[in-house]
Structure 1
């Protein structure tokens, strides 16, 4: 069984106990990880605080070079890291639409390389005989990163790379379900970064709470559920921490009447089911016009029945298991609720027999708003199809949800689809695609899907504070 330790002040660190990490494809442990507590958080924060002045004073070009070396480490160790991601998450090496652990590592490398090239130049707002006024961006201090189990390594990269580039130091807490790839990356990064610049503490909710409450952490970056995000927002008030929260979504997709649905069926299916639906910005509610409703249901059901579900280490697998037993129970409960609400199951609807946490890809018709499966985020391989007759009514229904991460409109008339997409109450609106994110486009939610944005110059700036310099003349 593989062994992993925490990483504090440039060295491996043991905790007060070990946790077993389960491979969800087998239901058995493949690794043991050292688990810390609030004392370990204190040690990690103290190391990050001590390292901050020198790292903040390091010239931008040198920090950029360090980040570029981290991209090189990810690339050089890609095979090992891909296998760890697959073992801990269950996602396939390749995956449906090539969205698997290979894509996760490729994305991590690409985001690191792109972010390394970003800059936050001094902005001059006045330069005349009265005064010189400049706006400078300065690092915040110690950044606490709390990451989820669905995309553990790539989301860690999203959190820590902009923090490091802007001169902050980091304490990261990976999910106890999926800590191995993050711990291995932090260990590799130790060959590039000075001691204390990046630290990793593994733990459960008490460790996350200790980070949120810690007076020497200046910012919390969190990706995860809305209820946990609300607790973090409350806890961050203790010292007015900056926060970036990317929270749950229940993304709607609207197919406009008359759309060539055979042309888009594969992409719609992938948007719903990649990573087994365990992506915040997956398509989770699909609204289809009554004139094409039955045909769309049949097209998606055919794909759900044909997709290859299995162990992610098998190169032929397209969808793996649900990541953990608790999430599997949630999906089962939502399927039962859909049956009680009169849902018509076109495909799937049940757990797949075996030791792993497998659930058959499921398409449910004849539900509407007010059903749990429509109103709640399932975060699993189950998608409701909702019939509509009127565009204005379906827009109202799509916007009625309290989440607002992403949304999409699909149609042959691109201008009409874009006009409707702009009326979605979502941080990102897609046309004829869904969930496609990239490192140069800001990404974040509205309503109860988050606070702040990530990616690009807008996301980079969130790791800094503004200092205005005025020189009188």
Structure 2
């Protein structure tokens, strides 16, 4: 696969007058040129998408499913070529990106949205002797999918598959930090879908704003930071767009006193450090019961110290560098703040000297609840571990945040774990597991963690208008009766 990248507009591969280069976060090397979409590219993409929206929306579900299956097979066939590109732009290891590129086996990619259980059939919501009320679902039209840099392919495919399945056309805007794999994937779609059904435009924040205010785009689906999500919501208000915003999280992991300490420590560490904590639902705060705190901390330290920085990209690992210098600076400042306030580091606290954006896996032992390391989302390999004593207390502390994306509860007593889970203000709670979103389950955030949600049947509804048909059975006027009405 050649390392030449294009904006895809209609049926065209388009270069650009201006290009950007991304730096590999693992090695610091400059990667390939990616053309920036022009204003003309944007307008042409919108026109092409709208021209295709009616025919694509009117196509049968069977046709759309089959073409999505063809797309999934096409991407899987190219997985070996896509994997090194994804590894170099994200900093993930090649072993990890091989799984992320293999569409047939990955969560929230095309194949997960193709079964009949993931479709939106008409639903009779009420019926009696007089009337039948039927809920039908029609596509919104043209969707702009603005995607993040941490999982650029998986999260883009979740948006693409759901939107196309429900009859919408899609313009994808990848993160400017990770444009390459998404541009290649949409280029491969040229051989599968009709022109205009799936397009891609690469650009910076100004392109994102143009998408959110464009009058001919019907929905914005965005995954990213809460701050950016608020700006998108403000911009989209001018045209009353539909929107789905999946935003930041500050997920709490609550460890009860009846667990196998060593086994749970291993699992919690995975939740903290998968992709170096650069995951919206990564564990950001760990609350351990007082009676097992010291033993748990020792086990967590041992687990954190198994993750090695500076490894080659072909070394199997779920741990890697920070993806970009902006996020690297944020995490470094959090470490510096903890040092300045004399918080205790149980392990780590070291920023590696290049090449690459590496930070040692770090545990901060019992910092104050009001500290930045506890109250703010780190999005990096630094985790505060805290002590709790009563259920009421730990639930209150876990909920004391404007975020509400996910949480975990660990207990040998499932009834107890579920009781705690139901009191947590989070869109998803995992019991006895670190955060593993599944495509059949609705994924949404509470409070500042989002508006609406994606995945599952409820997520598909966000890509549709719901129309209610009120069909009256016995009150049909004949033509003669109609003539005598006033």
- Cα pair 2:76 2:103 within 8 Å, conserved: no
- Measured at CA, do residues 448 and 121 of structure 1 come closer, stay the same or move farther in structure 2, by a change above 3 Å? same
After superposition, the C-alpha distances for 1:304-361 in whole angstroms (9 at most, x for unaligned) are 2222333452224442110001110100000111122332112111211221111111
Report the equivalent of 1:115.
Answer: 113
CA distance in 2, matches of 1:405, 1:287: 17
CA distance in 2, matches of 1:159, 1:263: 35
After superposition, the C-alpha distances for 1:181-200 in whole angstroms (9 at most, x for unaligned) are 10111011111000011111
- Measured at CA, do residues 268 and 127 of structure 1 come closer, stay the same or move farther in structure 2, by a change above 3 Å? closer
Displacement of 1:237: 1.0
- Measured at CA, do residues 17 and 353 of structure 1 come closer, stay the same or move farther in structure 2, by a change above 3 Å? same
Displacement of 1:22: 1.4
Displacement of 1:93: 2.5
Report the equivalent of 2:98.
Answer: 102
- Cα pair 1:9 1:44 within 8 Å, conserved: yes
Q: Secondary structure at the match of 1:297?
A: helix
After superposition, where does 1:267-278 map in structure 2 within 5 Å? 267-278=267-278
CA distance in 1, matches of 2:138, 2:412: 46
- Cα pair 2:270 2:434 within 8 Å, conserved: no
After superposition, the C-alpha distances for 1:188-233 in whole angstroms (9 at most, x for unaligned) are 1111000011111000000000000000010000000001101111
Alignment of 1:387 with 2:383, yes or no, is: no
With normalisation by structure 1, the TM-score equals 0.96
After superposition, where does 1:19-38 map in structure 2 within 5 Å? 19-38=20-39
Alignment of 1:470 with 2:470, yes or no, is: yes
Report the equivalent of 1:11.
Answer: 12
Report the equivalent of 1:452.
Answer: 452
Report the equivalent of 1:55.
Answer: 56
- Which stretch has the larger CA shift, 316-325 or 225-234? 316-325
Alignment of 1:240 with 2:240, yes or no, is: yes
- Which stretch has the larger CA shift, 32-41 or 15-24? 32-41
CA distance in 1, matches of 2:367, 2:376: 13
- Cα pair 1:322 1:359 within 8 Å, conserved: yes
Report the equivalent of 1:255.
Answer: 255
With normalisation by structure 2, the TM-score equals 0.93
Q: Which runs of 5+ in 2 are unaligned?
A: 477-486
CA distance in 1, matches of 2:131, 2:317: 64
Q: Secondary structure at the match of 2:120?
A: coil
CA distance in 1, matches of 2:202, 2:311: 26
Displacement of 1:38: 3.4
After superposition, where does 1:282-301 map in structure 2 within 5 Å? 282-301=282-301
Q: Which runs of 5+ in 1 are unaligned?
A: 95-99
CA distance in 1, matches of 2:103, 2:387: 35
- Which stretch has the larger CA shift, 410-419 or 278-287? 410-419
- Cα pair 2:269 2:300 within 8 Å, conserved: yes
- Cα pair 2:73 2:104 within 8 Å, conserved: no
CA distance in 2, matches of 1:330, 1:398: 23
4+ residue segments displaced more than 6 Å: none
Q: Secondary structure at the match of 2:33?
A: strand
Q: Secondary structure at the match of 1:175?
A: coil
- Measured at CA, do residues 369 and 184 of structure 1 come closer, stay the same or move farther in structure 2, by a change above 3 Å? same
Matched residue pairs, number?
Answer: 468
Q: Secondary structure at the match of 1:217?
A: coil
- Measured at CA, do residues 234 and 312 of structure 1 come closer, stay the same or move farther in structure 2, by a change above 3 Å? farther
Report the equivalent of 2:66.
Answer: 65
Report the equivalent of 1:97.
Answer: none
